[in-house]
Structure 1
Amino acid sequence: MARLSMFKIVLAALAALCLVGAGAVPAQAARTDRFDAATVERLDRAVTAVMERAGIPGANVGLWMPGRGTYVKSFGVSDTSSGTPMDTGLHLRIGSVTKTFTITGLLKLVDQGKIALDDPIARYVPGVPQGDRITLRQLAGMRSGLVDYTEDERWAASLLADPQRTYTPRQLLDYAFTHPLDFPPGTKWAYSNTNTVLLGLVIEKVGGQPLGTYLKQQVYEPLELDETSFPTDARIPAPYSQGYSDFTKDGGTTAATHWNPSWAWAAGAMISDLDDLRAWVPALADGRLLTPATQEQRLDFGPTGYPDVSYGLGIMRVKGWIGHNGDLPGYESLAVKLPSEDATMVILVNSDVDYRGASLSTLLGRAVTSVVTPEHVFDLPSAAQSRQQSPSPTPSR
């Protein structure tokens, strides 16, 4: 649900020209318990068609359905200059999938009795407009009314001027707080990265640690997600894929691999790989790190105003698939589970150059699910994409 539309300068023609042809041939297959040959062939054709049509340079696609099969492949290239093939072991930035980790960290504090979801944010962070009326639950569920800082033109201009700039969480909030609330707290749903940044500050205050340290110890280390990290600078651990973006002054495409993700912080700064996200999604869906009562609250999905799209606490549901998508300069991600089929799907893309207004991860998710779960086709409306660069409801960017 997140495409921070405000942040994006989308030129569909350029997007198609810049990356087309960069990778339509599967680079590797890495599992033996595969689907039947006919299904694999249909999946290959479906993914390849999207890659060619949308000009996607590289993608890792993973689908695990116990009893039916596994499909894990890399497509295209990780570096358009060298032609290095994409590989399932590469690290990529995951954008708003970060929110699933941050909100899990917050909910662990709930389970420990250190905070309550109906506490006002003013109890923990001063200076929030109507902070005495906005609850932690509303922030986690995207119902606060606070404007997304990525919709602020000054913020977009500052990032374009210096992609290596380090932002503090308070600087990000200052962009948002110059705007009036979009609606009274709790009355509507609207995706806003501002909400998750505020909750990151709550975690730091109550947890007594930097956010990245807390999430490592409390969320992804217990699950042995060794390739997942919360960066404090622009570095990305090797091996990694380059990431390509059209968030540029002239609308052209550039490598955004080493842009500083501090502007996304708790809302979208994390890095991971295919195998770690494959392990994370089931744990997220079944509440493995939380009490049953807290997980039940997390999965209390409310309407977003978009057909077949609902949102819980830092988690979305689309046609039965639950999890999150992500989008930030250079990368897109999708990490979801379909409980009714015990199916897990993870898609990582090394570009965020939309195709005719549609995010690349959604296009690939739609292609895969059209083949294997035709009654549960993953399809996020463009206006509901998860973006860390545009003003829209986002289960991620």
Structure 2
Amino acid sequence: MRSTHTRLRRACVAAASAALLVVPATAGSAYGAPTPGPSVTAAPSPTPTPGGDSEFPQLTPAVAAQLDVAIRKVLGETQVPGVIVGLWAPGKGSYVRTFGVADKATGAPMETGFNFRIGSETKTFTVTALLTLVDQGKLGLDDPIGKYIEGVPNGDRITLRMLAGMRSGLFNYSDDPDFDKVFTTNPNTYMSPRQLLDYSFKHPVQFAPDAEFDYSNTNLILLGLVVEKIGGRPLHEFIRQEVLEPAGLRRTVFPVDADFPDPHPQGYTNQSASGKVVNSTDWNPSWAWSAGAMISDLMDLRSWAHTLATGTLLTPATQAERLKTTPMDIPGDGYGLGIFNVQGWIGHNGSLPGYESLTIYLPEDKATLVVLLNTDITTEGQEPSTLFGEAVTEIVTPDHVFPGHKPIAPKAK
């Protein structure tokens, strides 16, 4: 089954699958013709240094031109309507561009100030909320989920750590045929967390707890319920008060319905029921809840990339636990607790019908990359957000190329 919703499942990176401030660079015009960036001195194209230790380049007009060409190439190959790419590195400058359109019907251009549905990037916020409760001494990562939620298969053996690290063995509810039928018939249907768990729990477990890595949205629904129960508030309120506000994220929201704050682009997806590309902008994201329902924007995600990767909201000990990774599908890449490390880039990606995002941080250069686009339609099985990430990192961090050459994990949708 590979209907539109299943990509929340692949948001673990399609690499590893959730507002508005002034962007300090000019946005591009429509149809992939970006306007010039900030005035800087031209420099030669970056060349990897011997020994695999290339230096992050100055983001000069020459490098910006390389990035423009690479991004336009991916835009053309994937037929993505529009994309925003933001790249920042201290002392090296910034590159912020828009390409293509926000609305295929009107031709309105993509703009840097748009809100986006960020799919499985929501997982980074839900797990951060869980870890704040760990730091408050209200729960432990090695507590069994059965201590908090009844009726979970293997609930006495599956720990909160295993859920956050995608090692529970629980069936992914968004792969259930009955779920698929409801979702594709009426994507505006509200689904409660308990309904989502019911779709999962009628299936046998996939493997023994902690035996394997398997990206499953079911894990995050359970963690969302734990945060609500122990935090004593609805999940959206807990995340707002304990994560978003302390992180200074003013344009990131956890919606409780299909509301989508303006301004935002129109989103486009393949609908399995009709086999056609449809506008999915206002579909109800309740089915993704703590696994993928959140909304954010370019500048909030730029800030969040650093907060997430460096653990500024958590104690050093808890952040260290978060960053302990287990292997995914590519040697050297791993998944931690609601976070991945792919070729040195730390963060997460996201995909929801009509939208994809990628937010990653490279500690050694203190570099941040954010990609936002208004489709989740894959190209030969590849997530477009990953392909954009690969195109950018091949140029600026050739020793740390974010991979797009093959799928890494089931996407978040």
Provide TM-score, normalisation by structure 2: 0.87
User: The residue matched to 2:369 in structure 1 has which SS?
Assistant: strand
Return the letter of the residue paired with 2:108. T
Correspondence for 2:172 among 148, 166, 175: 148
Q: Which residue is 1:121 aligned to?
A: 145
Does residue 25 of structure 1 match 2:49? no
Q: Which residue is 2:123 aligned to?
A: 99
Q: Which residue is 2:216 aligned to?
A: 192
Return the letter of the residue paired with 1:384. I
Return the letter of the residue paired with 1:334. L
User: The residue matched to 1:85 in structure 2 has which SS?
Assistant: coil
Task: Say how many residue pairs are matched.
Answer: 374
Which residues of 2 match residues 105-254 of structure 1 at below 5 A?
A: 105-254=129-278
Question: Distance in 2 between the 1:74 and 1:386 partners?
Answer: 27
Question: Distance in 2 between the 1:78 and 1:186 partners?
Answer: 42
Correspondence for 1:319 among 331, 343, 362: 343
Question: Distance in 1 between the 2:282 and 2:360 partners?
Answer: 26
Question: Residues 6 and 235 (structure 1 numbering): CA distance in 2 closer, same or farther, change over 3 Å?
Answer: closer
**Unaligned ranges ≥5, structure 1:** 9-21, 390-397
Deviation at 1:4, TM superposition (A): 8.6
Question: Residues 321 and 165 (structure 1 numbering): CA distance in 2 closer, same or farther, change over 3 Å?
Answer: same
Return the letter of the residue paired with 2:213. W
Question: Distance in 2 between the 1:317 and 1:333 partners?
Answer: 16
**Unaligned ranges ≥5, structure 2:** 8-28, 41-57
Question: Distance in 2 between the 1:382 and 1:264 partners?
Answer: 25
Provide TM-score, normalisation by structure 1: 0.91
Conservation of the 8 A alpha-carbon contact between 1:362 and 1:378: yes
Deviations 1:204-235 (A, max 9, x none): 00001110010000001112211100011111
Q: Which residue is 1:12 aligned to?
A: none
Conservation of the 8 A alpha-carbon contact between 2:351 and 2:357: yes
User: The residue matched to 2:411 in structure 1 has which SS?
Assistant: coil
Conservation of the 8 A alpha-carbon contact between 1:326 and 1:386: no
Question: Distance in 2 between the 1:213 and 1:316 partners?
Answer: 26
Does residue 280 of structure 1 match 2:326? no
Conservation of the 8 A alpha-carbon contact between 1:28 and 1:75: no
Conservation of the 8 A alpha-carbon contact between 1:26 and 1:73: no
Q: Which residue is 2:23 aligned to?
A: none
Q: Which residue is 1:7 aligned to?
A: 6
Deviations 1:217-269 (A, max 9, x none): 00011122111000111110001111100033122101100000000000000
Conservation of the 8 A alpha-carbon contact between 2:31 and 2:101: no
Q: Which residue is 2:368 aligned to?
A: 344
Question: Residues 27 and 139 (structure 1 numbering): CA distance in 2 closer, same or farther, change over 3 Å?
Answer: same
Question: Residues 187 and 136 (structure 1 numbering): CA distance in 2 closer, same or farther, change over 3 Å?
Answer: same
Which residues of 2 match residues 237-386 of structure 1 at below 5 A?
A: 237-380=261-404, 382-385=406-409
Deviations 1:97-120 (A, max 9, x none): 000000000000000000000000
User: The residue matched to 2:85 in structure 1 has which SS?
Assistant: strand
Task: Name the stretch that deviates more: 34-43 or 367-376.
Answer: 34-43
The sequence identity of aligned pairs, in percent, is 51
Question: Residues 146 and 188 (structure 1 numbering): CA distance in 2 closer, same or farther, change over 3 Å?
Answer: same
- RMSD across aligned C-alpha pairs, in angstroms? 1.8
Deviation at 1:69, TM superposition (A): 1.8
